[in-house]
Amino acid sequence: MTNIINYFDDDVRLEGMFFPLAGQEDAPVVLVVPTYAGRDQFTLDKAKAMNNLGYAGFAVDMYGEAKTGDSPEESMELMSRIMTNRPKLQKRMLLAIEAAKSASGVDNSKIASIGFCFGGLCVLDIARTGLDISGVVSFHGIFNQPGNTEGNKIRAKILVLHGNDDPMVPHKDVNGLANELTAAKADWQIHAYGSTSHAFTNKEANSPEMGMAYNVNSDNRSWKSMKDFLKEVIG
């Protein structure tokens, strides 16, 4: 069973898709934040997969009205509207977390969030705000700092799963993230996978000329690392 949960950023309706854990009244919940394509089938599948791990899942809508891009160009345009306003991005993440907490059958003291590509940046940003959630996982995310979180102490535990050959994340950004998280006194891990580029978890990613390609080994290894991490932070 799935439930649509509407929540609002002023007059923008955001449409979360909630996958409750059958037979459990107080399940931990994992939010899944999408790639630049929006809350698409990939996102829904990952949110539903949380049920197999013993969690409720919540597929986040970052664009409103569950919009998805019909082309890379449209997806880039949708993403840029939010990425260029990081306080708004952070607000939408907070609204999604509050919406997930309000769902029936959720233990709202056990909240984690995972994100892919653009979603990886989103989950890092909500951790950077200092919000007290259990943990976040970034899959092939973008690391650039938002500019409005300096000096915050990061409370969420952080797992970053990164392709070493990702052209969107130069090595200096990896070192920069490590330094940033250390300065924020975070409990952090960064796993870098060799011979792995951007979008390595997405079987539809088939644009090596753009630095995007599925990698089955890195997909499997990163998913296992995520499972171990979630077990640690939300049980």
Q: Which residues constitute the domain of residue 215?
A: 3-234
Q: What is the pLDDT of residue 206?
A: 84
3 state DSSP class of 7:
strand
pLDDT for 110-155, tens place per residue?
999 999 999 999 999 999 999 999 999 999 999 999 999 999 999 9
Mean pLDDT for 98-108 is: 94
For 140-207, give the DSSP string: S------SS-TTPPP-SEEEEEEETT-TTS-HHHHHHHHHHHHHTT--EEEEEETT--BTTT-TT-EE
Number of domains in the chain: 1
pLDDT for 150-193, tens place per residue?
999 999 999 999 999 999 999 999 999 999 999 999 999 999 99
Mean pLDDT for 74-89 is: 97
CATH number for the domain harbouring residue 143: 3.40.50.1820
When pLDDT is cut at 50, 70 and 90, the band that residue 209 belongs to is confident
Mean pLDDT for 85-90 is: 98
Mean pLDDT for 46-52 is: 98
Average per-residue pLDDT in the chain?
Answer: 97
